[in-house]
């Protein structure tokens, strides 16, 4: 099995969130895919095989299978464009069917995807209290324009908007406590963010349920945020940019288009780069 290592959502020629991409004749069994993902060690590895109407895709973190992963989908779309030529590819996920547009040319290499349908709901007060305690925060640290919420674009993401960039930079938490809370509440990542302007956000995404302290770029969480901002009638209805990974020294940039009706899919785009030559997994 050849596993391509691709950084998605790069910032220029730098940064990006590493993802594994395995293009297979047919998907291996779940145990094999889980073992390969653990050996690769990235936050997610995408496994894809030809299907009747496109590609059957499954995503594995080092410790768990996930139904959808944005940055691995960007990496997959770019890998398919490299193999098949630029175009639109239909993907059959565990719980949804989406498309990804991959491109490769002298001008650049990357992809964009349309997320599963989005929806959001207010976070219960008790859950907000647990999350604030996990990160050592208080209600006074929060941006009242973007109330805490569970936002969904496939999995559930906990949105926590902060009023000060320095508080975001100082984010700390205990991984085991975060894993317990995420498992109990069904939270894929905690999406902590700061709105520098209505169209520019800074974000950090702890991913304890997957055994990852922090993800440098999270496309599915970006889609969920876009859907939530649309539900809030956010004052900037057009594309927003999300800068992520800066506090990890891995700068990433995601573009999110949030036009359309509430509940509609959200389009997320980014560029990619190869990390090194493809490697063979057992």
pLDDT in tens, 142-175: 999 999 999 999 889 999 999 999 999 999 999 9
The strand pair at 156-162 and 189-197 is best described as parallel
DSSP letters spanning 48-76: EEEETTEEEEEEE-SS-EES--HHHHHHH
- How far is it, in rounded angstroms, from Cα 111 to Cα 109? 7
pLDDT at 280 over 80: no
At residue 17, the pLDDT reads 92
Residues of the chain by 3-state class (helix, strand, coil), percent to 5 = 25, 40, 35
Domains of the chain (ranges, CATH numbers): 2-111+270-280 (3.10.310.10), 119-269 (3.10.310.10)
For the entire predicted model, the pTM comes to 0.88
Q: What is the pLDDT of residues 97-155, one digit of tens each?
A: 999 999 999 889 999 999 989 999 999 999 999 999 999 999 999 999 999 999 999 88
């Amino acid at each position: 099995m050849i596993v391509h290592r691709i950084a998605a959502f790069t910032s220029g020629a730098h940064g990006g969130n590493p993802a594994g991409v395995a293009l297979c004749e047919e998907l291996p069994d779940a145990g094999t895919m889980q073992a390969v993902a653990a050996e690769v060690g990235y936050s997610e590895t995408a496994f894809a095989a030809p299907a009747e109407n496109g590609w059957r895709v499954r995503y594995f973190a080092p410790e768990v299978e996930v139904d959808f992963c944005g940055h691995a989908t960007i990496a997959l779309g770019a890998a398919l464009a490299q193999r098949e030529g630029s175009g639109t590819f239909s993907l059959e996920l565990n719980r949804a069917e989406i498309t990804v547009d991959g491109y490769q040319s002298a001008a650049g290499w990357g992809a964009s995807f349309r997320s599963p349908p989005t929806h959001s709901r207010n976070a219960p007060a008790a859950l907000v209290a647990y999350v604030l305690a996990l990160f050592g925060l208080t209600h006074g640290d929060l941006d009242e324009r973007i109330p805490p919420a569970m936002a969904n674009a496939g999995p559930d993401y906990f949105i926590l908007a902060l009023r000060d960039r320095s508080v975001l930079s100082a984010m700390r938490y205990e991984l085991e406590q975060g894993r317990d809370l995420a498992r109990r509440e069904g939270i894929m990542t905690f999406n902590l963010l700061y709105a520098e302007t209505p169209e520019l956000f800074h974000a950090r995404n702890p991913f304890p349920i997957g055994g990852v302290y922090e993800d440098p770029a999270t496309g599915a969480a970006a889609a969920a945020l876009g859907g939530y901002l649309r539900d809030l009638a956010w004052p900037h209805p057009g594309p927003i940019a999300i800068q992520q990974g800066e506090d990890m020294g891995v700068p990433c940039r995601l573009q999110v288009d949030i036009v359309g009706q509430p509940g509609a899919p959200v389009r997320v785009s980014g560029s990619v780069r190869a990390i090194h030559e493809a490697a063979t997994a057992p």
